[in-house]
């Protein structure tokens, strides 16, 4: 197995993943995407080699990272391609305390801060400029969008999505697959599957 990392997904999110790998000095072996129109094109210089299934042909050659912003689709692909070796990507301009636990496939982008004793699961996204304070727990496949901020002791369930600029007060619990709208301030726990918006964040009325 060589040092190359292969990226699954060729959209805008992939550009940030590839940029983070390049900033680390990690060679990008290629990209896989099911959009046949992208095959043979390049994303920040990385060649799109073919569809997602073709990634399995490279499983003994390099390591992989999912560059898929949608939480559910990212989970589906992680399960479909479970035999691949997943790499964790941390941009050199991010700060991650040495006591932090990062699951395989998780990405931490430029300007992000992750403070002591935090645990982040598999295939999570800690996006540009997001901050996670001490003793937080982030479940698998969760996404913290750019500029979101978690105070200490926050628990975020698997597949939850926190929008751009969200703030979460200390000790709050955000349930699995919950959605917190951009700019919201979470002052109370959020139930599994709930969508909340506003300041303070309240359930979205149907």
The pLDDT of 18-39, averaged and rounded, is: 97
Helix (H) or strand (E) holding 22: helix 12-24
Mean per-residue pLDDT, 64-74: 98
- Structure confidence at residue 20 (pLDDT): 98
**In the prediction, which pLDDT does 1 show?**
57
- The pLDDT of 41-49, averaged and rounded, is 98
Per-domain residue ranges of the chain: 5-80, 89-200
CATH of domain 5-80: 3.40.50.20
Give the span between the Cα atoms of 120 and 139, in whole angstroms. Answer: 6
- Mean pLDDT across 18-47: 97
Q: Write out the catalytic residue numbers.
A: 134
Percent share of the chain, pLDDT over 70: 99
Q: Could you tell me the CATH superfamily of domain 89-200?
A: Hexapeptide repeat proteins (2.160.10.10)
pLDDT of res. 70 = 97
Given a cut of 60, is residue 53 above it in pLDDT? yes
Domains 5-80 and 89-200 share a fold: no
Taking 60 as the threshold, does the pLDDT of residue 206 lie above it?
Answer: no
In whole angstroms, what is the distance from residue 198 CA to residue 96 CA?
Answer: 29
Distance CA 65, CA 22 (A): 13
């Amino acid at each position: 197995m060589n040092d190359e990392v292969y990226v699954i997904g060729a959209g805008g999110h992939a550009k940030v993943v590839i940029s983070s790998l390049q900033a680390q000095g990690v060679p990008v072996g290629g990209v896989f995407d099911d959009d046949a129109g992208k095959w043979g094109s390049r994303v920040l210089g990385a060649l799109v080699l073919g569809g997602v299934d073709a990634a399995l042909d490279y499983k003994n050659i390099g390591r992989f990272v999912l560059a898929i912003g949608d939480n559910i689709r990212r989970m589906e692909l992680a399960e479909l391609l479970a035999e691949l070796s997943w790499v964790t990507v941390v941009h050199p301009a991010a700060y991650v305390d040495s006591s932090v636990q990062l699951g395989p496939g998780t990405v931490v982008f430029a300007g992000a801060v992750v403070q002591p004793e935090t645990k982040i699961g598999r295939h999570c996204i800690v996006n540009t400029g997001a901050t996670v304070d001490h003793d937080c727990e982030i479940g698998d496949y969760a996404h913290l969008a750019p500029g979101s901020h978690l105070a200490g002791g926050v628990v975020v369930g698997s597949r939850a999505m926190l929008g751009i600029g969200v703030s979460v007060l200390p000790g709050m619990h955000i349930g699995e697959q919950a959605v917190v709208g951009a700019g919201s301030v979470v002052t109370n726990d959020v139930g599994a599957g709930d969508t909340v918006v506003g300041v303070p964040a309240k359930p979205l009325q149907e």
